[in-house]
Amino acid sequence: MKILDVLQKEAILVDLKSQDKKGVLEELVMPLTHIAHIAQGDLMRVLIERERLGSTGIGGGIGIPHAKLKGLKSLVLGFGLSRRGVDFESIDGRPTHIFFLLITPENSTGVHLQLLARISRILKNDPFKEKLFNAADSKEVLSIIDEEDEEF
């Protein structure tokens, strides 16, 4: 599964305003509520519960908040960019700039792990991260991801 198989243009936010973890999650969740027809409160609840287990701020300016949600029909993916950076309780203690938010149905562990691994792998590429950070709009984000996310 490729990232662009699930990432919709409407779920790409290139100018996150929030400066804290909860605010960023709320911003990222907003378009997904419309795409997945799920209440914002339900999405926030599972994400906050997951963050309590340990931060999904993986370091290097990257955050991949993710959770499973009962009743969700298919996985949804969001992308967010914070130019200023956010304290996302990252493992390296540095600000987080690039976010991929993944919500999957409760019973889809394989797909969940597969997409997390794919996102993590392409984000190890520093030139790719820099291109994403400098993307002007959602169309450019999609183009950058498309170039990098080749099916294996």
pLDDT digits (tens, 9 = 90+) for 5-22: 999 999 999 999 999 999
We find that the CATH architecture of domain 12-146 is 3-Layer(aba) Sandwich (3.40)
Whether 92 contacts 124, CB under 8 Å: no
Given a contact cutoff of 8 angstroms between Cβ atoms, the answer to whether 74 and 105 are in contact is: yes
66 is catalytic: yes
pLDDT score for 114: 87
Residue-range domain boundaries for the chain: 12-146
Interval 82-104 mean pLDDT:
95
- Identify residue 46 by its one-letter amino acid code: V
- pLDDT, one tens digit per residue, over 25-70 is 999 999 999 999 999 999 999 999 999 999 999 999 999 999 999 9
Q: Distance between CA atoms of 127 and 148, rounded to whole angstroms? A: 10
Tokens of 86: 């956010």
**Any bridge partners for residue 96, and if so which?**
86
Average pLDDT of 114-135?
A: 92
| Residue in the structure block whose two tokens are 């938010």 | 101
Instruction: Give the per-residue pLDDT at 152.
Output: 41
pTM of the predicted structure, to 2 decimals: 0.94
Active-site residue, selected from the candidate residues 34, 37, 66, 97: 66
